[in-house]
Amino acid sequence: MSEKIGVYVCHCGTNIAGIVDVADVSQWAGEKLAANGVVISRDYKFMCSSLGQELIQKDIQEQGLTRVVVAACSPHLHEKTFRNACQGADLNPYLCELVSIREQDSWVHTDKVAATEKAKAILSGGVARVEHHEALEPLRVPIHPDTLVVGGGIAGIQAALEIADAGFHVYLVEREPSIGGHMAQFDKTFPTLDCSACILTPKMVDVGNHPNITLLTWSEVQKVDGYIGNFVATIKQKARYVKIEDCTGCGICWEKCPKKVVDEVFEAGLGNRKVIYTPFPQAVPKYPVIDAPNCTYFLKGTCKACEKFCPTGAIDFNQQDEEITVQVGNIILATGYDLFDVRRMPQYGYGRLANVYTSLEFERLGNAAGPTGGNIVLRDGKTVPKAVGIVHCVGSRDQNYNPYCSAICCMQSLKFAHLVHERTGAEVYNFYIDMRTPSKGYEEFYQRLLEEGTHFVRGKVAEVTNLARIPEEEGKLIVQVEDTLIGKQRRIPLDMVILSAGIQARHDAKEVGKLFGISCSADAWYIERHPKLDPVATMTDGIYIAGCAQGPKDIPASVAQGAAAAARVLGKIQQKEISLEPVRATVIEEHCSGCRICNDLCPFSAILYLEDKKVSEINPALCQGCGTCVAACPAGAISGTGFSNEQILSQIEGLLLLNIRQLEAVPA
């Protein structure tokens, strides 16, 4: 045995030592695995502590260890720690193997004897494997200084501005004709009730004017290739049918356009827009788009009113969709959320009972720039409601719909209660399950509402109906609810009911996630690298998430995440070059038969067939090291660094060395 292997068994306080007899494991390894090259075996209270690490370093230097195996916690926690320790003692970090006897053993088993035996098996697997480790050098790749931000809501806007202000270029891609996202639809924002447009518009304008931001609205990313530092994104910019070089945004075209359609996006279905339109007056960019599927010219070949009246001749019915390719080093996804579809809860009458509203509809209703000019009136357009009910948690915290809390609905319902009260003087009833007001200034806002005289009824609304039982209910909407504080069923007659719909992941979040190679939770929120310690990074290097795309949150939290993601990207840009794990596949040219079986297997198109040599070759910068091609090559011509056949086959052997059934048969 040419390798000199050092084995280190960690107690992790009592975390491991409480179940696994670590002294026995270490002694066993020293004796029984000597034949496999183990020259030193120790156990220590905390291997990850600086003293523990020094222990390893000292042995490397004094005993000339050539391999190190640490039996401790999960490699996802401390692999780096021990690799660095080895590097500190001039041993190539990849010659170290960390095997988990905590997460996979002491924490999940209760039988001490079995857990100790298993620890030996795991350790022996590591020892068998480490012999085949190779000294590796991390791959260095340059970081392209440009960044792609997808989604121009408040989170994406913040991220783009932070990066652009720091002096680096950003491509901001937004699907709608304008940036702004949901926040642009609101009138006031809780808890301070600042006017949403007043705080958002300046930021939108900054984005529009920023020399470091290329704003691509009415656009979507179609394809992403590459890897951190070197992504290539293909963006489809839909035809606007307006030449932005010529358009001044004067608005004559949408004034003259004879055709109105219901605006399902910005006005949440509550108002209309023209077929050539900008979603709202402060839109950035100011250029309109023609909604071709609804345009009379595209449907019937006549009209062209906009073209006739445009003073600068900016209308161009022949414009085509364009494909733009950009090269970027990092990507931030800030695609936001969709509102829960309240029609899924027919018991609440939305769509059937005219004066039942969704929360977003109410935002537009209360908005001075909205369809009623901010007058809170019923669907007839004139009657001011005298009694208004606001139902919290619609579609949230409900096993039949979304099990999670949407985080913003309580506060948004309180905001609505305040606005209704202030503007109409109506009696307001808030129906809540629990009141959740955890952020700064939120509980104070709730107290304010209590003082304003809002009625708070604790209970889940069973039904909203118009079937009156008594004369007072005639012509009203009746909310049927169990008031759990007094333990009674109540029927409350109202003029207007607002459903505080929960928020959920974008309908296409999964497909978009796939496009960028990141994964979604069961509820389709994008998964962060670590739920506490790494909330804006993802498992894919170079791809970050911010805002509601990651999970329900309010504006301050979305802004904080946008800025955090930007800081992470700026950190990467400043490094100029980063090192990647050298876990990569390589084709051994002499063994390759040129069958090309591997060629189509790689999701990153890393494998190229060299026509001249008639063999396949792997681009190490594109290869992500999944190993699928290694497993598939019939000639065994592909080797996977870090996860080679020898390493894995030996590990299997090692794991089985101490077969529970054949305990006695263990070779000495």
Partner 1 sequence: MTETFEPVVIGFTCNWCSYRAADMAGTARMKYAPNIRLIRLMCSGRLDPTFVLKAFVGGADAVMISGCHPGDCHYVEQNYKALRRFHLLKRVLTQMGIEPGRLKLVWASAAEGAIFADTVNKYVEEVRALGPLDWPAKNLESVSTPIMEEVHA
From 17-25, 140-148, 169-177, 296-304, give the range in contact with ligand FAD by CB under 6 A.
169-177
State yes or no: residue 516 binds ligand FAD (CB under 6 A). Answer: no
Using the rule CB under 6 A, give the single segment among 14-22, 109-117, 152-160, 488-496 that binds ligand FAD. 152-160
Which CB atom, from 74 or from 296, has the smaller least distance to partner 1? Answer: 74
395 makes contact with ligand FAD (CB under 6 A)? no
3-state SS class at 615: strand
User: For partner 1, what does the binding mask look like between residues 507 and 546, x meaning CB under 8 A?
Assistant: ---x---x--x-xxxx----x-----------xx------
Total binding residues toward partner 1, as defined by CB under 8 A: 57
- Three-class DSSP category at 502: coil
Number of CB atoms found within 10 A of residue 275's CB: 26
Q: Among 2-10, 56-64, 147-155, 590-598, which window interacts with ligand FAD (CB under 6 A)?
A: 147-155
Strands 387-394 and 427-432: parallel
Chain-centre distance for alpha carbon 379: 37
Number of residues that bind ligand SF4 (CB under 6 A): 28
Q: Which of residues 10-49 bind ligand FAD (CB under 6 A)?
A: none
Q: Which two tokens stand for residue 551?
A: 């999970």
Count of residues of this chain found to bind ligand FAD when the rule CB under 6 A is applied: 39
For residue 576, give Cα distances in angstroms to 146, 330, 404, 457, 566.
11, 12, 40, 57, 16
Is the separation of the CB atoms in 591 and 637 below 8 Å?
yes
Backbone angles phi, psi at 49, to 5 degrees: -65, 165
Cβ-based nearer residue to ligand SF4, 215 or 602: 602
Q: Which two tokens stand for residue 158?
A: 């913040």
Binding mask 10-49 for ligand SF4 (x = CB under 6 A): ----------------------------------------
What track of x and - describes contact with ligand FAD for positions 201 through 230 (by CB under 6 A)?
-------------------x----------
Rg (CA), the chain: 31
Query: Judged by CB under 6 A, which of 52, 177, 279, 336 binds ligand FAD?
Result: 336
What are the structure tokens assigned to 420, written together? 């209704």
Least distance between partner 1 and beta carbon 233 (Å):
16
Contact by Cβ (8 Å): 460, 393: yes
Determine the Cα–Cα distance for residues 218 and 537; give it in Å rounded to an integer: 27
Residue 443's contacts (CB-CB under 8 Å, 6 or more residues apart) are: 437
Q: Are 119 and 71 in contact (CB under 8 A)?
A: yes
> Quick one: which segment of 84-92, 157-165, 437-445, 611-619 binds ligand SF4 (CB under 6 A)?
611-619
Residue 52 near which of ligand FAD, partner 1, ligand SF4, none (CB within 5-8 Å, type-dependent): none
Pick from 6, 145, 226, 640 the residue near partner 1 by CB under 8 A. Answer: 640
- For ligand FAD, give the closer residue by CB, 178 or 641: 178
| Single residue of 59, 279, 625, 637 touching partner 1 by CB under 8 A | 625
- Nearest to residue 168, comparing CAs of 142, 141, 148? 148
Mark out the alpha helices in 229-376 (DSSP H runs): 252-256, 296-300, 305-309, 359-365
The stretch near ligand SF4 (CB under 6 A) out of 148-156, 246-254, 267-275, 633-641 is 633-641
Give whole-number Cα distances, 519 to 512, 523, 526, 546, 619, in Å: 10, 11, 6, 14, 25
Which one of partner 1, ligand FAD, ligand SF4, none is in contact with 660 (Cβ closer than 5 to 8 A by kind)?
partner 1
Nearest partner of 360 among 183, 623, 566, 612, judged by Cα: 183
Virtual torsion, Cα 362, 364, 366, 371, nearest 10 deg: -120
Residue for token pair 């290539």: 232
Residues that bind ligand SF4 (CB under 6 A): 585, 587, 592-598, 601-602, 604, 606-607, 615-616, 618, 623-629, 633, 635, 637-638
Residues that bind partner 1 (CB under 8 A): 74-76, 100, 102-105, 107-111, 114-115, 117-118, 121-122, 125, 510, 514, 517, 519-522, 527, 539-540, 583, 601, 603-604, 624-628, 630-632, 640, 642-643, 645, 648-649, 651-653, 655-656, 659-662
